Structure 1
Amino acid sequence: MKKRTVVILSPFLIMLINLLVAVVAGYYIGKWAFIPIILIEWGLFLFFIIKYGGKVAIRNWLKPSKAGFGWIIATLVVAITPLPIFLKYHHLLSSWQLIVPWIILALVNPWLEEFYWRGLLSDYTKSWGAPLSVLFSSMMFSLNHAVFGINSSLFSGYEVMISTFLMGIVWAITYKRTDSLRWIIFAHFLVDFLNLSSVSFLDLFKPSW
């Protein structure tokens, strides 16, 4: 099977594995299933990034932005949309069991997700043309987040799907325009930090949308 075919099909494999982990882990540890889901997913991301991207691709993704200042601003604006969640619910980070996964996820997740969803998938679908490439990576990015709705009511609504899809669109276009993932990784860090991931996955608050 050609490398390009493998990469294009890889999101479906990742989502299938995530689904199985969510069901099995959810049966045994309930809402805490987000931890094995994310850890296994990170392993899968890392495999595809190294196998089909490699050091050359990573260096290319991390080079300085060449242009697209307006899209960088849009990327950062999107990134601070979870700020009200942080301001209203940060007091729920009341134990190390909540703080540790929140911090680790915010520090690690942006690199692996952006290398995979925006970097690898965008590069391997470049020949499709920008609109279709952006749409594909954004749809896969959004659909992949649906698995968390199996064990978390907060992630089970259409709002999460729509918000991740729109973020994916903005970040994919920004990558196309700037030819760099630097600012996108930083923006993703802000999202993961501000949305209080562990608190959200455990349904410790109810959204006001």
Structure 2
Amino acid sequence: MRHSLYLASTSPRRQQLLGQLGYQFQCLSPELDETPLAGESAAALVQRLAQAKAAAGLAQLDQAPAATALVLGSDTIVVLDGEILGKPLDKADAVRTLRRLSGRSHQVMTAIAVASQQGCQVQLVVTEVQFCHLTDSEIDAYWDTGEPADKAGSYGIQGLGGNFVVAINGSYSAVVGLPLVETKQLIDASVAAISG
């Protein structure tokens, strides 16, 4: 039986990474409320959202394609001192965030989930990212590039924000949005479970 792979995301970065693994896939764009639940930890939130995206993507498919479909969902958040740093509301918010990240280590949590009619498997990948010290003028100049405006944690490691990263302990591709090794393992395991 041939399985169709779908990516429950329109993120160009995730599409590029999944393509790098050599898979043929189609994209879905499920709408989702990403508001954290009361008392929900960062790790629980990112895993719940990845699962919800995968399940919502599967629900978008007609019955025939859904029977052999695998839908990959992914979510990435930036965490500092246990606090989730989302996309900035405005420049002042981005400046506050980047000042907090300056010279410190933070966590990037990416969860991946693969949903099929047989169920959903999820995995969490946590990467430590160390920033250099940033001056206010560097932060202002970075904001003016437009890059931080739509990025969790107000930076993109695959872009100009990578200039601030001193060290990474973990998966670089997970910080970009899709951990390559773990994604392949999860897709392969899901295919095996269906074919088993």
The structure whose Rg is larger is 2
Higher relative contact order (CA 8 A, sep 6+): 1
Structure 1 length-normalised TM? 0.29
Structure in which a larger fraction of residues adopt strand: 2
Structure 2 length-normalised TM? 0.30
Structure in which a larger fraction of residues adopt helix: 1
